Structure 1
Amino acid sequence: MNILLKSATVFDPKSTHHKKTVDVLIENGLISKIDNSINCPQNCEEINLENLTISNGWFDASVSFGEPGYEDRETIENGIQVAAKSGFTQIGLNSNCYPFTDSKSMVNYLKTKASGSPVTIYPIGSLTKKSEGKEIAELYDMQQAGAIAFNDYKKGIKNANLVKIALQYTQSFGGLVMSYPNNCNISGEGIVNEGISSTHLGLKGIPALAEELQVSRDLFLLEYTGGKLHIPTISTAKSVALIKEAKSKGLQITCSVSADHLTITDEELKSFDANYKIAPPLRTQSDVEALIEGLKEGTIDFITSDHDPIDIENKKLEFSNAIDGSIGLESLFVSLQETLGLELIIEKLTTIPQTIFGLKTSTIKEGEKANISLFTTKGTGTFTLNNILSTSTNSAYLGKKTTGKVYGTYNNGILTLA
């Protein structure tokens, strides 16, 4: 599809057109011309969007859909449309399905299912077979098929020796091990952050210690073995400090944070709304401030939506019985602008995460493949059910303020508008 983006402000520090308002002509999937004013040629659609800004396509490294196995939560087909309309051109797809993504055949299935779509899917394979934490999965074969990392999604691995072996083994082919930061023995039957809010509400708490012990253990293992380790969705101030210290030692350690943990605290739990039941649990305001500072100083490498659709039968229950999880693709950009600012958001959604996962980075210049997110930084509003595109509606951000708007994406020769 050939398109002409009119009066688009480019936000790409690597581009000579950075912060300039130009016309961008895209033909056969490539950026063919960038100029102050371009006339629309034949067989080309002119796109005029109010206060349009464009950047390199956003990458979300933690997305779950459900298919196969949980299609009632989200199908791959609809999930791809949700991602594209939310500004994402590339996603890391978690092994949060059944059967688990723990083999070469499952990686191939997911890539085939998403081929020819406006969003490029990069499967994240299970670290262990069936994500049971007992035996290493087919890591090398999965990487050869296209898996970009290995993680037992939302499951802290109890066996430290298994993580040690995984870190040693993956060095032979440059694999990236991900380890979810939760010590199951400490978190026990807790369902929310242990603190003043959990005590007032009479809810079983998960102490910050459960996360920090696991982070500390994995960092000791990494220092012993070498290799590459990524810790997804950290949520406490102490975790930031531990990872900052590890980076100062030169360890190959990276980490991420979810948008919800940058914008919402455990104060929201007083409503007993199960949409606020997520993992890791929502923490305190001081934790949120430490996470934001960790992003700004570079200790935290990137942001994810941690998009996790849960069907209404498993979410609209008493708080203690509901399944953890919140969708986040639709709300990520509009929730963070006031907190982080555009420059930091784009940095944490583009070059840095792509580099960590070994993906090709692009820039907005003539001759490059068009991999573009379209949005505006203008306007405010409230995030409501009308803003949700997912099959499931379990959003922790419902009812909260938004800034800006996502228009859509252009990727793989396909324009997708919200």
Structure 2
Amino acid sequence: MPMTETFKKAKSAGRKLALLTDEKRNGILRDVADAIIAGKSYILQANVADLKKMEPSDPLYDRLMLTESRLESIAADMRNVSRLPSPLGRTLTERTLDNGLRLRRVSVPFGVIGMIYEARPNVTFDVFALCFKSGNACVLKGGRDADCSNRAAVDVIHKVLAGHGIDTAAVTLLPATHEATASMLSAVGYIDLCIPRGGRKLIDFVRDTARVPVIETGAGVVNTYFDAAGDTEKGQRIICNAKTRRVSVCNALDCLLVHRARLTDLPALCAPLAEKQVTVFADVSAMNMLRGSYPDRLLADATADSYGTEYMDYKMAVRTVSSAAEAIDHINRYGSGHSECIITEDADTARQFQTRVDAACVYVNAPTSFTDGAQFGLGAEIGISTQKLGPRGPMGLEEITTYKWLIEGDGQIRE
């Protein structure tokens, strides 16, 4: 492999990292948070260089953009991670066998975590914080769109690590090339776990190509169902927040399902979206109700492709359903297993929805915009897993550790 030496260095750095005390790791995380604030001009200048290469109308532009307030939030999240309990060395289970052998299952780092992501420079800091706190080295492969930003971020991190005598290979940024991606996905024996964060195309490619273990994250086709017993005022706030808070993120709303009995409430539910210039792809029933109350230039007929699409833009589908069961069937067909929501005052319908909807995060009367590691109290997130084997939903410190069995005896032998 062309990058074998790079991966070897990361593996070696990871072994050393696992030996640091939690106190030492926490101090370094706080120092990196301080360095982010001190170096914000340097980081933002690099980010501007990336932004100049992308059209502001591109849905990824918002993901790519760093601001002073976003850097302050990143630094705050890093400090939060430093305050979390260590995920390492915890005894997960223990027992003594009849023969006197004592068994303990103890949490340990994976070793080296590979991260492949697109135009999201904040991920560089989030992954570092979580991996460092959990004793894992990280190998990062960002996209070309964010390469200047990623390199500035890693430079800030490396300077702090070097100042503490930490091997900087513990945070390795690969070239933003397809060849680097291929090398990471083939790095058997060096990369212990690979996590892709991006669109469906990237995630499918990683899953289908990788020779190293992969956790699928990120792709979010998100639905919200407004039930016959839904509260219109709550619905307005929830739908607008889920759709427009940040349209380019994976927890943003893509399709609104409305019970036929509440179609007359649809104009009120969508009114805040018109103020945000959201284009609505409506089915026939919804279109008939919205025409005349929603701007014509923002209305379009829904097609088969309108459902199951992750828009990452000021666009949303609307479909009319006749029951909660029909809404659930739609979600289980078109959703991606990320986040789904029901707006209802009927407790039985809410329980039915939560039981039957197949997704990592299922909400009742709250927007899907809360699907986020920091919001869940995890400090930050390395990704949002949409698979069922292993971690599911926002992945924090516990989800990027594994375990080993420790067995203590006193000369027993097996008959």
Same fold, TM exceeding 0.5? no
Q: Which has the higher helix share?
A: 2
Larger radius of gyration: 2
What TM-score, normalized by structure 2, do the two folds share? Answer: 0.29
